Amino acid sequence: MDNAMGRYLNEHVLSPPETLPLERRRSFQIFVRIYLFVTAIHIVFVPIFIWVDILALNVLNLLCIIANFLTIGLHRRGWLVLALLLKLFFVFVLVVVAGMLLGNDVGFEYYFFIFLLEIVISDLQQRYKIILSGLLLGAFLIMLQWLFGLWGSWPLGDLARRMLLAFNLMTTFVLITFIALQVYIVSEVTERRFRSDAYKDSLTGVFNRRAIIERADMLWRQQRPFAVLLLDADHFKQVNDSYGHGAGDKVLHHIAQLLQRALRERDCIGRVGGEEFLILLPDTNFEEGVGIAARLRAELASQPCRLDKRILQVTLSMGLAWSYEKRALNDVIDLADRRLYLAKFSGRDLVIAEGGESFGITARYEMYVSPSSTGEA
């Protein structure tokens, strides 16, 4: 039952709608949690206002609970600013009326700090934040100077007044802490997701070109020995032409995920072109690098990509180069690239780990261009 309720809240309340722009999802997640928590606070106040025995406060508190549910509904429909203003209005009225009926020294003025905090972290434009903050400050000063106790005074004893003051102070502290935590948690999760999206290839789930090159540069700066393995799916254009680009995307995803699972923990893989991947193999000597390349080819051969009832057997051409072979990182990658195209030139489904220096730019260019006329890549 609890799991079902949790799934419902996550899917239908806490998760932002798909139609909501990405730049507003952070604010959505923060405020929907605030509204739920504030609703719980209002429910806690139900017995307190019953204890105080003032009908107006009980009615206003009930209206705040109803308004919070309306606020969540508006919030989920993307009306983030309207939802905030609705919630602030009802709670503001409750706080002001409570101060006018119960007098000062009961702590309801502390909630003005919550109003201000919500305005500051909201999606309101800056000028509206300044205007609302100024109005809120003015209302706070008016309440302190003239409105406290205008309609009555604390009806119970001094001990009860101090207890309510302490409760309001504690509630304010809890609310500020909760809001600050939500801002931190949601911002941290959002930032991690953005960082991940910035460094991951959206199709295959492995690193993108920028990320894998940055990691290669880091290894190079650390003067840590490593191997660069460049590989390319053979005849991949035929897959797209025969089965469509959707099938080609599935094949690339299958290859990337299979290779990633087959690599060692310290290795990393990135997609650097259409069907071309770059793998970094830190602390890897010649025999180990060739062995890893052979194992990857064997893994792909034993686990072909399955599309419905079709089995697409895709092979890989590979070029291997080591960091000690050249004096610059770009030259090491270029050497691996030359060996990759030498593998294609030599018949494909091969690993080339030596030579390639004489495989010039002209030959590379010809091998890169000519397949377009034959339907091969």
| pLDDT tens per residue across span 94-106 | 999 999 999 888 9
**Within 10 A of 259 (CB to CB), how many other CB atoms are there?**
21
User: Does one domain contain both 10 and 106?
Assistant: yes
Q: Is 349 domain-assigned?
A: yes
Q: Is 204 domain-assigned?
A: no
The pTM for the full model equals: 0.68
pLDDT over 70 (residue 70):
yes
> What CATH number did the domain enclosing 215 receive?
3.30.70.270
Q: Is 138 domain-assigned?
A: yes
How many domains does one find in the chain?
A: 2
pLDDT over 70 (residue 17):
yes
Which of the residues 109, 118, 275, 276 is marked catalytic?
A: 275
226-233, strands of its sheet edge to edge: 268-271, 276-282, 226-233, 316-322, 351-352
User: Does one domain contain both 135 and 222?
Assistant: no
User: Does one domain contain both 136 and 20?
Assistant: yes
Strand partners, 320: 229
Last residue of a domain, one of 154, 173, 199: 199
Q: Which amino acid is at 326?
A: K
* Residue range 293-303: mean pLDDT, rounded: 90
CA pair distance 91, 172, nearest whole angstrom: 13
Q: Checking DSSP bridges between strand 305-307 and strand 310-312, what pairing results, if any? A: antiparallel
Q: What is the pLDDT of residues 225-240, one digit of tens each?
A: 999 999 999 988 888 8
Last residue of a domain, one of 165, 199, 233: 199
Helix, strand, or coil here: 162? helix
- Class of residue 268 by CB neighbours under 10 A (exposed 0-12, middle 13-18, buried 19+): buried
User: Does one domain contain both 240 and 186?
Assistant: no
Helix 361-369 and helix 329-345, axial crossing angle in degrees, nearest 10: 50
CA pair distance 276, 35, nearest whole angstrom: 48
**Residue 15's pLDDT band (boundaries 50, 70, 90)?**
confident
Which DSSP string corresponds to 189-207? Answer: HHHHHHHHHHHB-TTTSSB
CA pair distance 256, 268, nearest whole angstrom: 11
pLDDT over 50 (residue 197):
yes
Q: Is 243 domain-assigned?
A: yes
- Class of residue 199 by CB neighbours under 10 A (exposed 0-12, middle 13-18, buried 19+): middle
User: Does one domain contain both 261 and 131?
Assistant: no
CA pair distance 142, 214, nearest whole angstrom: 58
pLDDT over 70 (residue 11):
no
User: Does one domain contain both 179 and 250?
Assistant: no
User: Does one domain contain both 191 and 217?
Assistant: no
User: Does one domain contain both 227 and 257?
Assistant: yes
User: Does one domain contain both 41 and 175?
Assistant: yes
Q: Is 99 domain-assigned?
A: yes
Mark whether 275 is an active-site residue.
yes
Residues contacting residue 257 through CB under 8 Å, at least 6 positions apart? 204, 205, 206
Q: Is 338 domain-assigned?
A: yes
Q: Which domain holds residue 306?
A: 209-374
User: Does one domain contain both 98 and 234?
Assistant: no
Strand partners, 280: 228, 268
User: Does one domain contain both 61 and 173?
Assistant: yes
